[in-house]
Amino acid sequence: MFSDLPLKKKLRYAMLVTASASLLLGTSIFVLNDLARLRQNSVETLHLLSRVIARNSTAALVFEDTKAATQVLDSLSTLPNITEAELFDASGRSFARYPADSAGGVLPVNPSAFPVLTFYDRGVSLLSVIVFEGETVGSLRIGYDLGQLHSLLLLEVALALGVFLLCIALAYLLSTHLQRLIGTPFAALSHTIQGIIQREEFSRRVPATVADEIGELIGHFNRLLDFLQQRDRRLAIHREELEQTVAQRTQELSVVNDRLRQAAAEATQAKEA
């Protein structure tokens, strides 16, 4: 479990997860925003083309000139993203098509709903009405290929993925360096504590290499060791003084006992005499 990992690994994983989440969120927002922007640009381009073609084909619809209408639609051949275009007359019948051999479509029954924007697989189509002097003289449908948009999007996703992986590698290197800065003092502290526990070496100290909260903690720990070491010294001095006092009292008692035994012997001899 994560809670059981060493501190160095926790720091490294925390940094990597944070960096990954931030980069993933930023990359996703960038790609989605670019997708929406490119899609909006395609739709605006399609509306612009529709207005231009509608204006140029109005006379052909009014005078029922199919040849002129076809020539107007053929001008779309210079635009590779235009897949198809079709003009309908006021009654909804197919009037001209691009390419000429393409199958004619069916005009929606309700022309009041124009313009109609329809997205489909790798493309979008716009169906709009053509009005001349306040009267509807026809309608126009243009198909726009979004394949190039998808290719650009895939390229951006690949670039974003490359940048993401590069940033993760950089974050890994930085996290390794940072976890050393943070983890090394804790490792020294742990090593010192183990030495004290195993060999009771209260003279050992942890080197304070940083001046932050970790350095403050190490300073407090070293002062605690100073206190313990001074206490042990006082206890050792007290123990030595106590031993000297006990030895002195023992010697004094031994002298008193010798005198008592000698006095008792002399008293016994005097009684026998």
Specify whether the CB–CB gap between 142 and 49 falls below 8 A.
yes
Predicted confidence at residue 108, as pLDDT, reads 57
Cβ of 58: how many Cβ atoms within 10 Å?
A: 18
Predicted confidence at residue 107, as pLDDT, reads 64
Specify whether the CB–CB gap between 39 and 149 falls below 8 A.
yes
104 DSSP 8-state letter: P
Strand-pair partners of 129: 139
103 DSSP 8-state letter: P
Specify whether the CB–CB gap between 40 and 46 falls below 8 A.
no
Give 210-242 as a DSSP string: --SHHHHHHHHHHHHHHHHHHHHHHHHHHHHHH
- Which tokens hold the place of 136? 């509807």
- Which tokens hold the place of 156? 């951006």
How many whole angstroms separate alpha carbon 97 and alpha carbon 107? Answer: 13
Predicted confidence at residue 4, as pLDDT, reads 66
Q: Split the chain (273 residues) into runs of 10 and give each run's mean pLDDT.
A: 67 79 84 84 90 92 91 90 89 86 62 72 86 88 85 84 85 78 73 75 71 74 80 84 85 80 76 68
Predicted TM-score of the model (pTM): 0.56
